Structure 1
Amino acid sequence: MLILSNVWYCTFQREILKGINMEFLPGTKYVILGTNGAGKSTVGYVIMGLEGYKPSEGRIFLDGRDITDLSVTERAKLGITLMWQEPARFDGINVETYLTLGGRLNVSKSEVCDALEFVGLDPALYLKRLVDKTLSGGERKRVELASLLLLKPRYAILDEPDSGIDLMSLDMINNVINYIAQYGGTPIVITHREEMAYNTDYGYLICAGLILKTGRTEEVISAFRGTCEVCKHPNLPVNGELK
């Protein structure tokens, strides 16, 4: 189990996360839902342990082990992966090299081709394409989704996975999310869109760094509709409630 216990994150004397408590069980599909600027991506960065995103207070536990002070690399070795909202470009590296981690990932070429086909990319056209500016944002997002299929992480954080991808590809993204859960992994979908939230089991509604609602996804979406989409409150939530 992955646990965030009373996690605060502050930067430049601003409180971005304010006492976040979350639990993520294996094989369950989660959503972190909220409007832009609510602190959703920051939760993902804190879980992944990106540089500059160490909690100001609180701890992060994986299977009872405190991983708060572990590096990104150490967390990756424990099975935590972050798929960026804006995928990185790697000049001089082709898709096949990227997906196999330069040959270090123990997968066959057939498995690489299957992963590309799963996300709607023709291996004959993409294996040797460079992961650079010649790929569109949507193509790079698909390549990154293919990497999740091959890595099989224990915890896959997907930050706005539909960003840069047309609406017709929503089923493909959901298939990737389902695949992760089926092998016992835990997909954590970060999004501001209801459409991406529907294919999850349990959710957290976040606003201004506070969790306003936890529960089954349909309950969280209902709270999102009733609170965030019609929000008329110019002030931040106080003690977890809108004032």
Structure 2
Amino acid sequence: MLKAENLTLNVDDEGGKKCLLNNISFQVDDGEMLVITGPNGGGKSTLAKTLIGIQTPDSGKIILDGQDITELDINHRANAGIGFAFQQPPRFKGMTVMKLLKLAAKDELSDKECCDLLTAVGLCAKDYIYRQIDGTLSGGEMKRIEIASVLAKEHSLCIFDEPEAGIDLWSFSMLIQKFEEIHTEKKQSLIVISHQEKIINMADRIMIIDGGEIKKIGTKDEVLPYLNGVQKCHKCVERLEGRA
């Protein structure tokens, strides 16, 4: 179980302070899938980076399976059981895809299991297993390889930041199957940041973040009517601005 308690994060902004997260509190139960959605720039990725240790909150706590991990760095949080797939994955010149997957799994994967992971995210294993993780890979290829690296090891909690970005429809369908496997078969906890309707409809609960605040959190029946209303409102504003 993950608990976020009163997370607040401010950054310097043109001589003042800008609030990126404002008193964020929620929890993710064991085996639960929480989908976080909301407008761009609303604080979704900032929250994910705070949960994994890239950003440090000014106040509040992060509790994972009863352990306070607020002061732990990203490596220690990974060891504690958090897996994370970046929206824009980093590159590692000189490292092969197979080496990355084996490192992610702490060398517990066979060559065949590495190939199976690549297939699961829509990549031809024989074409990618010995490729270097450098600038020759496209953004979409990097995205899929990083998702495979998260899937390489079982975690208490997996966090995916817009996993649908940069992948084709066929790969997306395979990714959905993987999320279903993690959620329903392996009973691992999932946080997925997404705007994609299919992913949102998979959620046990949905959380909407805007302006660094939780606007709504609850089941699909509780949140989807609110979300649909917000989207209609935004479309009306866009039409009005287009006419101005």
**Partner of 1:106 in structure 2?**
108
SS at match of 1:151: coil
Rounded to whole Å, the distance in 2 between the matches of 1:218 and 1:89 is 40
Matched, 1:5 2:5: yes
Q: 1:232 to 1:197 in 2, by over 3 A?
A: closer
Q: Which runs of 5+ in 2 are unaligned?
A: 238-244
2:199 to 196, 214, 217: 196
Within a 5 Å distance, the mapping from 1:1-243 to structure 2 comes to: 1-12=1-12, 13-50=17-54, 53-101=55-103, 104-181=106-183, 182-231=185-234
Q: Alpha carbon RMSD of aligned pairs, Å?
A: 2.0
Higher mean C-alpha deviation, range 177-186 or range 110-119: 177-186
Higher mean C-alpha deviation, range 170-179 or range 32-41: 170-179
Higher mean C-alpha deviation, range 166-175 or range 66-75: 166-175
Aligned length: 232
Rounded to whole Å, the distance in 2 between the matches of 1:175 and 1:125 is 22
Q: Which runs of 5+ in 1 are unaligned?
A: 235-243
Verify the 8 A CA contact 2:105 2:152 in the aligned structure 1: no
How far 1:202 sits from its partner (Å)?
A: 0.8
Rounded to whole Å, the distance in 2 between the matches of 1:56 and 1:229 is 35
TM-score, normalised by the number of residues in structure 1: 0.89
Rounded to whole Å, the distance in 2 between the matches of 1:147 and 1:176 is 13
Rounded to whole Å, the distance in 2 between the matches of 1:140 and 1:210 is 31
How far 1:130 sits from its partner (Å)?
A: 1.1
Verify the 8 A CA contact 1:29 1:201 in the aligned structure 2: yes
TM-score, normalised by the number of residues in structure 2: 0.89
Verify the 8 A CA contact 2:104 2:150 in the aligned structure 1: no
Deviation string 1:42-87 (CA, Å, 9 cap, x unpaired) is: 110110011xx11111111112221111111111001102100111
Verify the 8 A CA contact 2:8 2:58 in the aligned structure 1: yes
Deviation string 1:187-227 (CA, Å, 9 cap, x unpaired) is: 11012333431222111111101111111134323322212
Q: 1:123 to 1:173 in 2, by over 3 A?
A: same
Higher helix share: 2
Verify the 8 A CA contact 1:85 1:159 in the aligned structure 2: yes
Verify the 8 A CA contact 1:119 1:145 in the aligned structure 2: yes
SS at match of 2:70: coil
Q: 1:11 to 1:174 in 2, by over 3 A?
A: same
Verify the 8 A CA contact 2:22 2:213 in the aligned structure 1: yes
Rounded to whole Å, the distance in 2 between the matches of 1:163 and 1:183 is 25
Q: 1:228 to 1:19 in 2, by over 3 A?
A: farther
Verify the 8 A CA contact 2:98 2:130 in the aligned structure 1: yes
